[in-house]
Structure 1
Amino acid sequence: MKFVSYRHQGASSFGVLLEEGIVDLPRRLAGAKDLASLLASPAQLDEARSLAASKADFALSDVALDPVIPRPGKVICVGINFVDHAAEAGRTVGKYPVIFQRYAESLVAHGAPLLRPRVSQQFDFEAELAVVIGKGGAHIAPEDAMDHVAGYTCFNDASVRDWQFHTHQYGMGKNFRATGSLGPWLVTADEIPDYRQLSVQGLLNGERLQQGRLADLAFDIPNLIAYVSQALDWQPGDILATGTPSGIGFKRKPPIFLQPGDTFEVAIPGVGTLSNPVADEG
């Protein structure tokens, strides 16, 4: 099953995505507020599944998509999590995962423009699989971690490279306005029996520049969920971005950076394709 968040006739909403359109859940489920709260309610999730056989309320083309979780409480990102990416970056995979945070306000939806900042020409791409948390918790054991996964979506952790390396902390280069994207939809975990069979690709103007297999993560999803949970409680709707494979722009010779007029896609067969044009910040 697929879920989407969107705006329809000026109002924010969310629903089940069918081949023929969208079943709008707030009009069908009493008390349904947003997708994150739906994921926290097993009873409402069961009702939503039963509504997947309903007639669509409107077409996908009738709505403007939002990031699939419009306001995640946490966006936890993992750096240097593919061995080949670590090698191209001149890094080695350490004993513990490299964790950094991204602010929700830096993310845009599928189809919305990524904005190259006024202050930098080094706007780079990072194709990733994102995990959407469905059940919260702290001190989660790795063997229990997948029970906390609601589903998967695509993520572009596009980065402002010169600002990323102003200091040894990544934060500023990862948090410019409208520089990352999340979507287009959430595919529920039951549709992906083994995430390790997935692959992630990054395509610039149709040319594949990145490709990696989720089986090649240095730190797998259960261990990442467990590790973070020792410090922070996971909440429904939180996002875990699992890291990008090799092929990023600034390590190419010559470097390739995103330019106005470009289109970058994150393609994960079985999950979806997240596509965004690039524009200069106004």
Structure 2
Amino acid sequence: MRLLSYRIKGNPGPSRMGFLHGEKIIDLQKAWKKFKHANNDNDAANTADRFFPADPMQFFTAGSRMIEQAQDVLIYAKYNRVDDISFSRDQVYLFTPLSSPGKIICVGKNYAAHAAEMDSNVPDYPVLFAKFANALIGPEDVIEKPKFVNKLDYEAELIAVIGKEASHVRRDKAFDYIAGYTIGNDMSARDLQKRTPQWLQGKTLDRSTPVGPWVVTPDEVGDVGNLAVRSYVNGEERQSATTQKLIFDIPFLIEFISSLVTLNPGDLIMTGTPDGVGMGMTPPQFVNDGDIVTIEIDNIGRIENKVKEKAKIQ
């Protein structure tokens, strides 16, 4: 299932939870109401606003049980008319599926070739840092580049979305705690990142990190340990690798991180980027106003965002 956050173009209201069905986007809460009415569960249908949220963040923080209910709706939509609550792709604007996760935990230097291009050793333990929700934007938003940033870089990443509370999880149980996967672009202001030993200031600038276009449930992703990850700048391929090259794979990351901090539904783990970033090129090639950055991951999709320079603070 491909779960997304959308709003009808021209409608100023809040984004709503939807899912992709063929070429159409279907409103998830409204489809759930139809499903419940069809099964003569009118009480549930009439109380959907309380028990089946239309708000995407509320949906994901409710965890895996909500996604299990959504899977029933997907099956219902395959065999029943839902035209009145479905929209073509050009009718809607997609937002980041999770706009305000409780935690955004990022992993640095998690591909050996990327560590090498950054003149760094392969780490013995995962290199963790954080982003804040202010950095997140959707798959159709512009990446904001402050004028004082001169070395803005792209980083294609697979993101794991947590589906239930996870504390001291063993590797062999890690996949039980994942709601799905999405795509991220860990845009990094290298000139800010590198001026201190701590990376935070270069990693969480306002409206700098595209995430989307949807969250894909594990059953549709398949082997998450062998997905192709690619990035392009203005159509030129920059990164190309597979998740087989991760130094610390997703089960290890879940075990390691959950031993340090409890993970909650809706939390994001950005798993690291392959080699081919702008800073690693000779000479370095950073992105600037007007550049278009595209990230693709097999079995998930693609996001494409334009860079826009914003004015200095007055």
In the other structure, the counterpart of 1:66 is: 95
Q: Distance in 2 between matches of 1:238 and 1:19?
A: 28
SS at match of 1:27: helix
Q: Secondary structure at the match of 1:14?
A: strand
1:49 equivalent among 74, 84, 100: 74
Q: Relative to total residues, which structure has the larger helix share, 1 or 2?
A: 2
Indicate the SS of the match to 1:178.
Answer: coil
> Does the 8 Å CA contact 1:83/1:93 hold for their aligned counterparts?
yes
Corresponding residue of 1:2: 2
For structure 2, the residue ranges without an aligned partner over 5 or more in a row are 33-47
Question: What whole-Å deviation, never above 9, does each CA across 1:123-147 have from its counterpart, x for those lacking one?
Answer: 1100111111112221100110011
Matched, 1:13 2:16: yes
Aligned partner of residue 157 in structure 2, secondary structure? strand
**Cα distance in 1, alignment partners of residues 173 and 87 from structure 2:** 38
1:122 aligns with 2:148: no
Counterpart CA distance in 1 for 2:180 and 2:77 is: 16
Between the aligned partners of 1:51 and 1:115, the Cα distance in structure 2 is: 40
Report if aligned partners of 1:16, 1:48 keep a CA contact under 8 Å in 2. no
| SS of equivalent residue, structure 1 residue 26 | helix
The question of whether the paired residues in 2 share the 8 Å contact of 1:116 and 1:258 is answered with no
Structural mapping, 1:1-282, within 5 Å: 1-8=1-8, 9=11, 10-29=13-32, 30=48, 31-33=51-53, 34=56, 35-37=59-61, 39-42=63-66, 43-53=68-78, 54=80, 55-56=82-83, 57-282=86-311
Residue identity opposite 1:32 in structure 2 = F
Larger displacement relative to structure 2 (269-278 or 28-37): 28-37
Q: Are the equivalent residues in 2 in contact too, given 1:25–1:32 (CA < 8 A)?
A: no
Paired with 2:96 and 2:299, the residues of 1 have a C-alpha distance of: 19
Matches of 1:4 and 1:239, distance apart in 2: 15
Root-mean-square deviation over aligned CA pairs: 1.5
Amino acid at match of 2:3: F
Structure-1-length-normalised TM-score: 0.95
- 1:30-85 deviation digits (Å, cap 9, x = unpaired): 12223314543255234333344253522222222111112111111000000100
- The one-letter code sitting in structure 2 at the alignment partner of 1:272 is G
Q: Name structure 1 gaps, 5 residues minimum.
A: none
Letter in 1 for 2:23: E
Of the structure 1 ranges 4-13 and 123-132, higher mean CA displacement relative to structure 2 is found in 4-13
AA aligned to 1:206 is: G
Corresponding pairs, count = 282
- Distance, in Å, in 2 between the alignment partners of 1:45 and 1:135 is 16
Look up the SS of the partner of 2:87 in the other structure.
coil
**For 1:113 and 1:161, how far apart are their aligned partners in 2?**
19
Provide the identity percentage.
Answer: 37
Distance 1:37 1:25, change over 3 A: farther
